Amino acid sequence: MLANILQTLGLVLLGGATLVMLLMLAQYCRLVSLTGKTAAARLRLLEEKLQTLRGVRERQQSLPVAWNGIRKFRVDRKTPEPGGICSFYLVPNDGKVPLPSFQPGQFLTFRLDLDGKEIVRCYSLSDCHRPDHYRVSIKRVLAPREPAGLPPGKVSGHFHDSVNVGDILDVRAPSGEFAINPHDSGGLVLSGAGVGVTPVLSMLNAIIEEKARREVWFFYGVRNGSENMLKEQIRAWRAAAIPNVHFVVCYSDPDSSDRLGEDYDYAGRVGADLFQRLLPSANFDFYTCGPPPMMNGVRDGLAEWGVPESRVHDEAFMQVTKSVKVSASVDFKRTGKKVGIDGEIANLVKFAESEGVKIPTACWLGKCGTCMTALVEGKVKYSTKPTFDKLEKGCCLPCICVPDGNIVLDA
Ligand SMILES: Cc1cc2nc3c(=O)[nH]c(=O)nc-3n(C[C@H](O)[C@H](O)[C@H](O)COP(=O)(O)OP(=O)(O)OC[C@H]3O[C@@H](n4cnc5c(N)ncnc54)[C@H](O)[C@@H]3O)c2cc1C
């Protein structure tokens, strides 16, 4: 009897143990198959990413390198945009395509001859690379309300009023440090206000066109719908539900026809407070372009939020000049003129101009190199760090520096 009970107990225990083992085996098999599936999915994603990167690299390697000096471009299309902006589509006059690649965010430098004088201006490329054309979008600069009597913007007005389809323009190759690689890792916050959207729009277009996987938050600020040059485009992108790209449209002064939640997402300006409300964390690279108060606000707000300075990038279209006290002599060697300074000056270009010495300049920000001049003797002090990447040894960028003691300039 006892033997029977023990035998039954043994059988039950054996059965139980077998059942537990079978359950564990099943669990193990499920795990192995899940891990296998996850690993396979990861592998597929990696392969896709590699394929995209290979494609991008091959495409870029097949593109010609940028040109030196001036290349002639023909205006192929001129399209008015909202907000007093006009887009110009430029094709190479020599017909040689594909066009050299550029980093999204870079700008073109135009040399014009207006009223017998050479004048140079920079305009950001507002689209990603296309093999057959470049695009720039230019806002007409109106005369400031104050002080009264100042003229409207010379070159922007010229582009709007006098540059037409078929016209030939002198253009220097894309350049600039405010740029991204769409295929780097890490999330991006791209913010642009008004016409300042152009370089970040180029970055966004590149991310979308090249199906890059970086997480992107795109903040776009304008006064209201009448100035929104991306209304249809953003609507189309939203409909395409691009999983890694988020759009936030801000109107600072919406009018009665603008619909919250449809035409725009926030009533107010683009700023770091909005980033803090919407972003999942501060772990992004921030690229901002807009009017100086907006960029200063973003910079200060991001610093308060603890974003390292190395992750904050901005592009100014205009220089905000602060004069500094200088006591020195400037010897303009080529002109044969030596003058003393004892007072405040904004920069060497303006000072030279006041002395009748012309130093050509374009960006007034130390970005484009138009004003690069040999510093034969002495030292200069910069108001902002030059970002022109081809600054030659023994030269300076007079648009953003003042003498630091007596100098001799090759001007
Ligand atoms: C890297 C970079 C990228 C840029 N990208 C773009 C872009 O994508 N789109 C765009 O629209 N712009 C862009 N800009 C700005 C552009 O280069 C020009 O600065 C802008 O078009 C104004 O040039 P303008 O000749 O029309 O105006 P300017 O004739 O230079 O006049 C500018 C302002 O100065 C005032 N002014 C004129 N004369 C005087 C005077 N004697 N004293 C005081 N004030 C005076 C004018 O009233 C006007 O308000 C960019 C600039 C840089 C540096």
Q: What is the CATH number for 163? A: 2.40.30.10
Residue 97 lies in a domain: yes
Domain count, the chain: 3
Q: What is the CATH number for 237? A: 3.40.50.80
Computed on alpha carbons and rounded to an integer, the radius of gyration of the chain in Å comes to 29
Q: Is the pLDDT of residue 91 over 50?
A: yes
- Percent over 90 (pLDDT), the chain: 77
Out of 271, 298, 315, a domain closes at 315
Give mean pLDDT, residues 135-139. Answer: 98
> What pTM did the predictor assign?
0.84
Closest CA to 391 of 181, 199, 175: 175
Give mean pLDDT, residues 145-161. Answer: 94
Q: Is the CB of 135 under 6 A from ligand 1?
A: no
Residue 249 sits in the same domain as residue 192: yes
Tens digits of residue pLDDT in 198-213 = 999 999 999 999 999 9
Tens digits of residue pLDDT in 232-248 = 999 999 999 999 999 99
CA 361 to chain centre: 22
Residue 238 lies in a domain: yes
Residue 233 sits in the same domain as residue 292: yes
Residue 52 lies in a domain: no
Q: Is the CB of 114 under 6 A from ligand 1?
A: no
Residue 309 sits in the same domain as residue 200: yes
Tens digits of residue pLDDT in 165-185 = 999 999 999 999 999 999 999
How many CB atoms are located within 10 Å of the residue 373 CB? 21
Residue 158 sits in the same domain as residue 91: yes
Region label for 268, one of left (φ > 0), alpha (ψ between -120 and 50) or beta (otherwise): left
* Ligand 1 centroid – CA 318 distance (Å): 7
SS3 state at 176? coil
Residue 311 sits in the same domain as residue 337: no
pLDDT band at 399 (very low <50, low <70, confident <90, very high): very high
Domain that holds residue 350: 324-409
Give mean pLDDT, residues 17-43. Answer: 63
Out of 269, 288, 315, a domain closes at 315
Buried b or exposed e, range 129-144, using 16+ CB within 10 angstroms = beeebbbbbbbbbeee
Give mean pLDDT, residues 35-54. Answer: 73
Residue 251 sits in the same domain as residue 366: no
How many CB atoms are located within 10 Å of the residue 214 CB? 19
Q: Is the CB of 154 under 6 A from ligand 1?
A: yes
Residue 162 lies in a domain: yes
Q: What is the CATH number for 335? A: 3.10.20.30
Residue 200 sits in the same domain as residue 291: yes
Residue 222 lies in a domain: yes
Residue 9 lies in a domain: no
Q: Is the CB of 122 under 6 A from ligand 1?
A: yes
Q: Is the pLDDT of residue 398 over 70?
A: yes
Predicted pLDDT of residue 34? 55
Residue 284 sits in the same domain as residue 328: no
Q: Is the pLDDT of residue 11 over 90?
A: no
Q: Atom 27 (ligand 1): residue with closest C-alpha?
A: 153
Residue 262 lies in a domain: yes
DSSP type of residue 223 = S
Residue 161 sits in the same domain as residue 196: no
Sheet strands (E) in 42-133: 70-81, 85-92, 107-114, 117-124
Q: Which residue has the tokens 């030059």?
A: 386
Residue 159 sits in the same domain as residue 261: no
Question: Would you call the peptide bond into 151 cis, given omega within 30 degrees of 0 as the criterion?
Answer: no
